[in-house]
C-alpha cells in the first residue's frame, strides 16, 4: 500500500505529535508499505528530501511563520501530486493545510484519515484568538471532508468540542509507543552524574517548556513534597530554552526555578533522544504530567515511563488521566491544583508497591507494529467502502 502522511512539523522537531507520526511511519515501512511523509521545511538547514528508516520525507519550503504555524505557498501544488500518487492519505491534526489535502483526496477517490492529536488553545491575545478561530475552521473543514477520524481515547473524544461533532466516523486507537532497552551501564552513569541515589526521590517531567504543560503547578507543589522528602529533586527533560511562542512564560518562571537549581533540587537535562531517555526513566521514582488544558490529549511520556516501571501522576484532563486509569500505575491530581498534585505525588512515593503495574502488557498494547495493523484494517475497510 502507498501511504501518504501529511503534517506541518516532522522530525527532528520534537513534540508528542511528531514522535507519534515518526513511530507510525516507521512501523508502516517495516510492514512493507511505501510511506511518504509530506511536511514543511520549518528549519532552512533541513534537506528538502531525504529517506530515513525506509520513509521518504518531502519538505515544502516555508515563506513565513504565523504564531506556531508556517506559510508554505507551494504546499497545495506538492499535495496535489502526492495525493494522486498514493493509495491512502493520513493527516495529523491540528494542521492549517489539512482541508486542502482532504479535498484533494476526496476528488481523487483516495481515503483520507485524520489522526486528531489535541484541541488547540493558544495563549491569550487578540492575534492568537484570530489564529485559533482560523485553525478551528480549517480543522472542521478537514473533518467534514475526511472519511474517518482517529483519536487516542474515547474519554478525550467525548470531551473534545471538535471530536464530539464527528462521533459517527470516529475510531479510538492507542498511540504507538516504543523505547530502546535501557543499558545498565548508561543507567548507572546517569545515576552517578545526577546523584539519583543520594538525592531521592526523583520526580521526572519530560516535555517542552510550554504554558499548557503546567510547569508552575509543579513549582507550587514542590515545597509540599520537599517538606516530607527534603532530598527530593526534579529532573526536567525536554526543550526549555527558545521554545517557539513560550519565551514570556519561560521568563516568568525561570527565577523561581533558578532557586531550586542552586539547591540541587531542579535540573534541566535538555532535549534528549530516545536512547538518552532510556537511561533517565529507570532513575525516576515518579513522573508527572500536570497539564492544564486540552492541548494535551494523552501524555505519551507516561507510557514511556511505565514501560520502565515508573508510575505517573497526571492531571485529571480527559485523555491524560487514562494511562493511569487503564494500567493502575499512579494517581490522578486535580487540574491546576498544586496541593492536589503534591498529595498525589506523595501518595505514589509512599506506596510504590501499589503502583507497579504490568510492564509487559503495557509494552504489548502500545507496540508500533500493533498500532500500524489497526490503521491497516481501517484503511482497507475504507477502501472497500469506497
CATH number of this structure's domain 2-176+367-385, picked from the four choices 3.40.50.2000, 3.40.50.300, 1.20.1440.230, 3.90.1150.10: 3.40.50.2000
Q: Could you give the 3-state DSSP secondary structure of residue 280? A: helix
What does the DSSP 8-state code read for residue 174?
P
Q: What's the pLDDT tens digit per position in 140-158?
A: 899 999 999 999 999 999 9
Residue 255 neighbours by CB distance under 10 Å = 8
What does the DSSP 8-state code read for residue 180?
P
Residues 6+ apart with CB under 8 A from 24: 5, 176, 368, 371, 372, 375
pLDDT at 120: 72
Q: What is the pTM of this model?
A: 0.85
> Residue with C-alpha cell 522537531?
13
Of 204, 338, 222, 210, give the one whose Cα is nearest residue 267.
204
Please give the mean pLDDT across all residues of the chain: 93
φ and ψ at residue 114, rounded to 5 degrees: -95, 130
Q: Which residues of the chain have pLDDT under 50?
A: none
Residue 68 neighbours by CB distance under 10 Å = 19
The domain 184-365: what is its CATH number? 3.40.50.2000
Cell numbers standing for residue 295: 492541548
pLDDT at 126: 73
pLDDT at 67: 64
The residue extents of the domains of the chain are 2-176+367-385, 184-365
pLDDT at 63: 86
- End-to-end distance of the chain based on CA atoms, in angstroms? 16
H-helix or E-strand containing 64? Answer: strand 64-66
Question: Rounded distance, CA 219 to CA 239, Å?
Answer: 17
Report in angstroms the alpha-carbon separations of 135 from 72, 83, 121, 131, 374.
15, 22, 10, 6, 28
> Residue with C-alpha cell 528508516?
53
Q: What's the pLDDT tens digit per position in 63-103?
A: 887 666 778 889 999 999 999 999 999 999 988 889 999 99
Residues 6+ apart with CB under 8 A from 16: 117, 298, 299, 300, 301
Cell numbers standing for residue 45: 538547514
**2-176+367-385 and 184-365 share one CATH topology?**
yes
pLDDT at 268: 97
Amino acid at each position: 500500500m502507498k501511504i501518504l502522511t501529511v503534517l506541518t512539523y516532522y522530525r527532528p522537531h520534537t513534540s508528542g505529535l511528531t514522535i507519534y507520526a515518526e513511530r507510525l511511519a516507521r512501523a508502516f515501512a517495516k510492514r512493507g508499505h511505501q510511506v511518504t511523509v509530506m511536511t514543511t521545511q520549518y528549519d532552512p538547514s533541513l534537506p528538502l528530501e531525504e529517506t530515513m528508516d525506509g520513509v521518504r520525507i518531502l519538505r515544502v519550503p516555508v515563506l513565513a511563520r504565523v504564531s506556531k504555524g508556517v506559510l508554505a505557498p507551494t504546499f497545495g501544488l506538492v499535495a496535489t501530486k502526492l495525493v494522486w500518487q498514493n493509495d491512502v492519505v493520513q493527516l495529523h491534526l491540528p494542521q492549517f493545510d489539512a482541508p486542502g489535502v482532504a479535498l484533494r483526496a476526496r476528488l481523487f477517490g483516495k481515503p483520507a484519515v485524520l489522526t486528531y492529536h489535541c484541541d488547540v488553545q493558544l495563549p491569550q491575545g487578540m492575534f492568537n484568538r484570530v489564529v485559533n478561530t482560523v485553525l478551528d475552521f480549517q480543522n472542521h473543514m478537514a473533518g467534514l471532508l475526511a472519511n474517518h477520524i482517529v483519536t487516542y481515547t474515547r474519554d478525550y473524544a467525548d470531551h473534545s468540542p471538535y471530536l464530539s461533532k464527528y462521533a459517527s466516523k470516529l475510531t479510538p486507537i492507542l498511540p504507538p509507543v516504543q523505547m530502546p532497552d535501557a543499558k545498565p551501564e548508561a543507567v548507572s552513569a546517569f545515576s552517578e552524574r545526577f546523584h539519583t541515589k543520594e538525592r531521592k526521590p526523583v520526580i521526572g517531567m519530560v516535555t517542552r517548556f510550554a504554558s499548557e504543560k503546567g510547569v508552575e503547578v509543579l513549582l507550587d507543589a514542590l515545597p509540599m513534597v520537599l517538606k516530607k522528602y527534603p532530598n527530593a529533586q526534579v529532573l526536567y527533560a525536554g526543550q526549555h530554552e527558545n521554545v517557539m511562542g513560550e519565551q514570556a512564560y519561560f521568563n516568568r518562571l525561570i527565577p523561581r526555578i533558578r532557586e531550586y537549581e542552586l539547591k540541587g533540587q531542579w535540573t534541566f537535562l535538555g532535549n534528549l533522544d530516545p536512547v538518552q531517555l532510556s537511561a533517565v526513566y529507570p532513575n525516576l521514582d515518579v513522573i508527572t504530567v500536570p497539564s492544564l488544558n486540552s492541548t494535551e490529549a494523552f501524555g505519551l511520556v507516561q507510557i514511556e515511563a511505565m514501560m520502565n516501571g515508573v508510575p505517573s501522576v497526571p492531571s485529571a484532563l480527559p485523555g491524560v488521566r487514562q494511562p493511569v486509569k487503564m494500567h493502575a500505575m499512579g494517581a490522578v491530581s486535580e487540574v491546576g491544583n498544586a496541593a492536589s498534585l503534591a498529595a498525589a505525588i506523595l501518595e505514589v512515593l509512599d506506596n510504590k508497591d501499589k503502583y507497579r503495574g504490568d510492564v509487559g502488557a503495557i509494552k504489548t498494547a502500545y507496540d508500533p507494529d500493533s498500532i500500524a495493523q489497526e490503521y491497516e484494517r481501517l484503511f482497507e475497510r475504507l477502501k472497500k467502502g469506497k
